[in-house]
């Protein structure tokens, strides 16, 4: 179905055509004809970037009575940016309906100016819940003639704590109205709003509930927490034309990461709640116009960003609320285009990836952080492509070319190419020349490794510990345990292999007996150590330490456990 088959006003169709839209998106195709034919309460489940604003905005424009200059439609959204975006987009659709007035009402802007605009008469109000509730309490707005109420991104409004504001606003609207609720996810709180404030709503769903956009690839890199920023730089350097958002958990972290990227010569800006509205508008305009490549933002600040053609979303931290991942990844892959969502995690977050997979119903692809060599290669070919594609203005550059040719006439063709490429490329070679591998194995992969441990070096004995990655142990903690058990700070330790349920460590022969003897009574996170000499065949009885077969008197065992508790405190702090 095309727009001209939906029964829309010709002037609205003219506005759609002027904006360059030809074919409706799935949510528009399902929603608009249904509402225009028989208006009713509707729940629309769709991801960001699927054309929800037009889905409810076009029917609203169709039903507005221009001669009655009072608020007839109220559209609530969680953030200032989304509120302004909705108003801007509906104005563009109504460009051939000049008599229709749309007024955005949101916090962080001059309330008196907004009150003045409302008093001047308006047909459609787009608002954030907090500011609209303030307007109601101060008797600055009359909602008695509202015929259509839209709750856009209802799940996020509830996540941001707007439940009381919503209840107060909804109570001031007429009972006889049509309520349209749009949400990317459908948690119980949103279902409760539908139950309490809607009458037999029709549900229109594009994709599965709580699912992510179909055309977004989900990737994760696993690194040590201390290497997170280094991994971010490699991710960005591996995509020379990246245009995306880096999501951080807190305002402070957002500012720090953005400042570090700017210091490292990346085209980046920060967007968070501590910025004034003027600063936020400046940053957003700059980002929309591609004056900056990378926006570092918190979840709240980045809600409702109307930015097209984002190539990547990077989760510098996974969100605390897994449903926020749906909103983050939905910033890219919009309007039918493809996108990539990358998460940088450490080992203990692997389980959270699996939980998000279940929430989305999508599989994440584990990929290695790009190596220095891979980045240099990618940047080199990007540079050569840029040189090939650059447009030459013969008329303007012509007068300078003789002097340029004279300066370069002693270079051969090959030498000149090397000089030009190296001018830009050397900084990547210098930085990534001998950089280490940042990747670490996860517990699932390690536990599936072959149980064949490498041959022991001469003078070392292998010992098997009954504590592995499933308990969160690290090589450093294995070393600390061996040092504490043997009582020798300079004990020689060889290879350490960590598996899912156990670990294998090489210890010098001279310290082996002490390790077996003194490990009795020691514990790690509630599990008593069971230490044995490692034997690949496991066909003979092991010489073992640990709790089983403990021949120490009870008091001595208690003393040893107390000693290890002190060791644990030392290790932890």
CA distance 52 to 151: 11
For 300, which DSSP code? T
HEC string of 310-372 equals: CCEEEECCCCCCCHHHHHHHCCCCCCCCCEEEEEEECHHHHHHHHHHHHHHCCCCEECCCCCH
Query: What are the start-end ranges of the H helices in 75-173?
Result: 80-93, 111-119, 129-137, 154-159, 163-171
Check: CB of residue 503 under 8 Å from CB of residue 489.
no
Secondary structure of residue 66 in the 3-state scheme? coil
Q: What is the domain class of 3-205 according to CATH?
A: alpha beta
Secondary structure of residue 544 in the 3-state scheme? strand
pLDDT of residue 538: 47
For domain 216-370, say whether CATH 3.30.390.50 is its number. no
Give, to the nearest 10 degrees, the angle between helix 52-63 and helix 26-37. Answer: 20
Check: CB of residue 299 under 8 Å from CB of residue 153.
no
Q: State the pTM of this model.
A: 0.54
Pairing of strands 503-508, 460-465: antiparallel
Tell me if domain 3-205 and domain 443-572 are identical in fold: no
pLDDT of residue 446: 45
Secondary structure of residue 47 in the 3-state scheme? coil
CA distance 464 to 519: 12
pLDDT of residue 277: 77
Burial of 285 (0-12, 13-18, 19+ CB in 10 A): exposed
CA distance 213 to 235: 22
- Rounding to the nearest 10 degrees, give the CA dihedral for residues 188, 190, 196, 198: -130
Domain residue ranges of the chain, discontinuous segments joined by +: 3-205, 216-370, 373-432, 443-572
DSSP-assigned letters across all residues of 482-539: HHHHHT-TT--EEEEEE-SS-EEEEEEHHHHHHHHHHTTT-EETTEE--EEE--SS--
Residue 399, strand partner residues:
none
Pairing of strands 531-533, 460-465: antiparallel
Note the pLDDT tens digit of each residue in 272-308: 878 887 888 888 889 988 899 999 998 776 565 667 7
Check: CB of residue 270 under 8 Å from CB of residue 297.
yes
For 138, which DSSP code? T
Burial annotation 176-212 (CB, 10 A radius, 16+ → b, else e): ebbbbbbbbbbbeebeebbeebbeebeebebbeebbb
Check: CB of residue 185 under 8 Å from CB of residue 323.
yes
Residues of the chain with pLDDT under 50: 209-211, 442-453, 538-544, 546-573
For domain 443-572, say whether CATH 3.60.15.10 is its number. no
pLDDT of residue 573: 26
Distance, C-alpha 507 to centroid of its chain: 43
HEC string of 445-459 equals: HHHCCCCCCCCCCCC
Note the pLDDT tens digit of each residue in 191-216: 887 888 888 889 888 755 444 556 88
pLDDT of residue 491: 78
Contacts of 352 (CB under 8 A, 6+ apart): 318, 322, 345
CA distance 305 to 203: 25
Sign of CA dihedral 78, 81, 86, 91: positive
Q: How many CA atoms lie within 13 A of 533 on its CB side?
A: 15
HEC string of 198-235 equals: CCCCEEEECCCCCCCCCCEEEEEEEECHHHHHHHHHHH
Residue at token pair 């350097």: 237
pLDDT of residue 131: 93
pLDDT of residue 452: 47
Distance (Å) of CA 406 to CA 392, 400, 414, 422: 19, 10, 17, 21
- Of 338, 337, 364, 334, the C-alpha closest to 350 is 364
pLDDT of residue 567: 33
CA distance 556 to 8: 87
């Amino acid at each position: 179905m095309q727009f001209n088959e939906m029964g829309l006003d010709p002037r609205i169709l003219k506005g759609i055509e002027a904006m360059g839209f030809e074919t409706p998106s799935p949510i528009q195709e399902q929603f608009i004809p249904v509402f225009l034919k028989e208006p009713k309460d509707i729940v629309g489940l769709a991801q960001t970037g699927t054309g929800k604003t037009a889905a409810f905005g076009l029917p609203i424009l169709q039903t507005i009575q221009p001669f009655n200059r009072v608020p007839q439609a109220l559209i609530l959204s969680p953030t200032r940016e989304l509120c302004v975006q909705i108003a801007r987009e509906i104005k563009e659709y109504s460009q051939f309906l000049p008599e229709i007035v749309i007024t955005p009402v949101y916090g962080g802007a001059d309330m008196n100016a907004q009150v003045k605009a409302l008093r001047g008469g308006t047909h459609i109000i787009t608002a954030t819940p907090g500011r609209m509730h303030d307007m109601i309490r101060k008797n600055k707005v009359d909602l008695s003639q509202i015929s259509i109420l839209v709750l856009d991104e209802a799940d996020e409004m509830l996540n941001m704590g707007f439940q009381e504001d919503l209840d107060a606003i909804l109570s001031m609207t007429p009972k006889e109205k049509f309520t349209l609720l749009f949400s990317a996810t459908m948690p119980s709180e949103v279902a409760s709003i539908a139950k309490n404030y809607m009458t037999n709503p029709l549900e229109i769903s594009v994709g599965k509930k709580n699912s992510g956009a179909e055309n977004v690839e989900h990737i994760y890199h696993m690194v040590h927490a201390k290497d997170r920023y280094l991994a971010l730089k490699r991710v960005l350097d591996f995509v020379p034309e990246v245009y995306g958002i880096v999501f951080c958990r807190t305002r402070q972290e957002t500012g720090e990461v953005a400042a570090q990227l700017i210091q490292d010569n990346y085209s980046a800006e920060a967007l968070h709640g501590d910025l004034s509205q003027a600063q936020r508008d400046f940053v957003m305009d700059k980002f929309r116009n591609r004056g900056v490549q990378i926006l570092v933002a918190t979840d709240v600040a980045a809600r409702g960003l109307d930015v097209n053609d984002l190539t990547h979303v990077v989760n510098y931290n996974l969100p605390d609320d897994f449903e926020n991942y749906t909103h983050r990844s939905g910033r890219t892959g919009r309007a039918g285009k493809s996108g990539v969502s990358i998460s940088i995690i450490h080992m203990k977050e692997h389980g959270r990836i699996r939980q998000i997979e279940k929430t989305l119903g999508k599989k994440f692809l584990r990929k290695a952080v790009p190596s220095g060599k891979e980045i240099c290669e990618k940047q080199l070919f990007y540079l050569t492509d840029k040189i090939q594609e650059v447009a030459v203005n013969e008329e303007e550059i012509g007068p300078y070319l003789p002097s340029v040719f004279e300066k370069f006439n002693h270079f051969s063709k090959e030498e000149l190419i090397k000089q030009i490429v190296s001018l830009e490329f050397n900084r990547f070679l210098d930085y990534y020349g001998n950089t280490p591998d940042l990747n670490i194995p996860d517990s699932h992969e390690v536990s599936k490794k072959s149980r064949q441990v490498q041959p022991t070096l001469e003078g070392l004995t292998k010992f098997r510990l009954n504590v592995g990655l499933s308990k969160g142990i690290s090589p450093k903690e294995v070393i600390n345990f061996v040092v504490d058990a043997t009582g020798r700070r300079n004990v020689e330790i060889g290879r350490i292999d960590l598996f899912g349920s156990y670990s294998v460590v090489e210890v010098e022969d001279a310290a082996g007996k002490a390790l077996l003897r003194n490990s009795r009574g020691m514990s790690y996170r509630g599990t008593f150590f069971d230490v044995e000499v490692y034997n690949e065949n496991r066909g003979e009885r092991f010489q073992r330490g640990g709790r089983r077969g403990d021949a120490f008197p009870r008091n001595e065992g208690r003393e040893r456990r107390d000693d290890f508790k002190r060791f644990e405190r030392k290790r932890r702090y």
